[in-house]
């Protein structure tokens, strides 16, 4: 399959085309982020977000540009957005004291109310996860509850790492749709 053909098929929601594009461009996007961040988990997370966003917005892709360049641009923008959020979060935690030599240290430990809300949210999340097909439940469980790496998940379910990534991407997307409906 050619890249142009895969893009056109992906625009028609062809899963094989999405898999082809993910397999073809994963290393370049992941490698790009790994060089920028020097943290494998963050680079993986941003790469997954990149493909998720790209596949959601594939209809907006302009064929005057190379697909790989488009993906790298999306990836770079996601990273910049994350940095901005981090920076604004740090700023908001700093005190507005006039001398700026003292900072208020916020107690970020959860209150009793926060713990109850968290437990309720977790219970709801688990109910929502159970609405997914079993193979999607499995990858979410292995990744987020057992905290396995993609490689470990791949070995556990006897599938390629790229298939694990795609399954996890689809599972997160379907879970987000279920949560939004609620």
Say if residue 41 is in the same domain as residue 120.
Answer: no
In degrees, to the nearest 5, what angle opens at C-alpha 50 toward C-alphas 158 and 70? 125
Asked if residue 3 lies in contact with residue 18, where contact means CB atoms within 8 angstroms, the answer is no
Asked if residue 55 lies in contact with residue 165, where contact means CB atoms within 8 angstroms, the answer is no
Say if residue 159 is in the same domain as residue 91.
Answer: no
Cα(81)–Cα(87) distance, rounded to whole angstroms?
10
Alpha-carbon torsion, ordered 110, 140, 54, 90, to 10 deg: 20
Using CB atoms within 10 A of its CB, is residue 152 exposed (0-12), middle (13-18) or buried (19+)?
middle
Give the domain CATH number at 16.
1.10.1740.10
Does residue 5 register a pLDDT over 90?
yes
Average per-residue pLDDT for the chain:
84
Asked if residue 151 lies in contact with residue 161, where contact means CB atoms within 8 angstroms, the answer is yes
At 167 the pLDDT is: 84
Residue 98 pLDDT grade (very low, low, confident, very high; cuts 50, 70, 90)? very low
Say if residue 90 is in the same domain as residue 6.
Answer: yes
- Number of domains observed in the structure of the chain: 2
Asked if residue 143 lies in contact with residue 153, where contact means CB atoms within 8 angstroms, the answer is yes
Does residue 110 register a pLDDT over 60?
yes
Say if residue 83 is in the same domain as residue 121.
Answer: no
Tell me which of 95, 118, 151 is where a domain ends.
95
The pLDDT of 144-165, averaged and rounded, is 87
Does residue 138 register a pLDDT over 80?
yes
Residue 103 pLDDT grade (very low, low, confident, very high; cuts 50, 70, 90)? low
Does residue 134 belong to any structural domain of this protein? yes
Does residue 48 belong to any structural domain of this protein? yes
Q: What is the pLDDT of residues 49-77, one digit of tens each?
A: 899 889 889 999 988 889 999 999 999 99
Residues 6+ apart with CB under 8 A from 162: 19, 22, 23, 26
At 102 the pLDDT is: 54
In the block, residue with structure tokens 């949560």: 179
Question: What is this structure's pTM?
Answer: 0.56
The pLDDT of 87-112, averaged and rounded, is 62
Residue 94 pLDDT grade (very low, low, confident, very high; cuts 50, 70, 90)? low
At 93 the pLDDT is: 65
Share of the chain above pLDDT 90, in %: 30
At 116 the pLDDT is: 74
């Amino acid at each position: 399959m050619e890249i142009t053909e895969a893009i056109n098929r992906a625009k028609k929601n062809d899963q094989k085309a999405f898999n082809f594009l993910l397999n073809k461009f994963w290393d370049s996007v992941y490698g790009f982020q790994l060089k920028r961040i020097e943290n494998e988990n963050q680079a993986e997370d941003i790469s997954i977000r990149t493909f998720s966003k790209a596949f959601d917005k594939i209809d907006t892709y302009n064929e005057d540009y190379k697909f790989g360049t488009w993906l790298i641009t999306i990836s770079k923008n996601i990273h910049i957005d994350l940095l901005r959020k981090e920076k604004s979060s740090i700023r908001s935690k700093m005190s507005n004291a006039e001398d700026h030599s003292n900072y208020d240290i916020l107690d970020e430990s959860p209150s009793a109310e926060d713990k109850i809300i968290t437990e309720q949210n977790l219970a709801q999340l688990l109910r929502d996860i159970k609405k997914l097909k079993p193979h999607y439940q499995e990858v979410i469980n292995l990744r987020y509850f057992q905290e396995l790496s993609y490689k470990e998940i791949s070995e556990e379910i006897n599938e390629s790492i790229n298939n694990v990534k795609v399954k996890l991407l689809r599972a997160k997307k379907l879970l987000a749709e279920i949560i939004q409906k609620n």
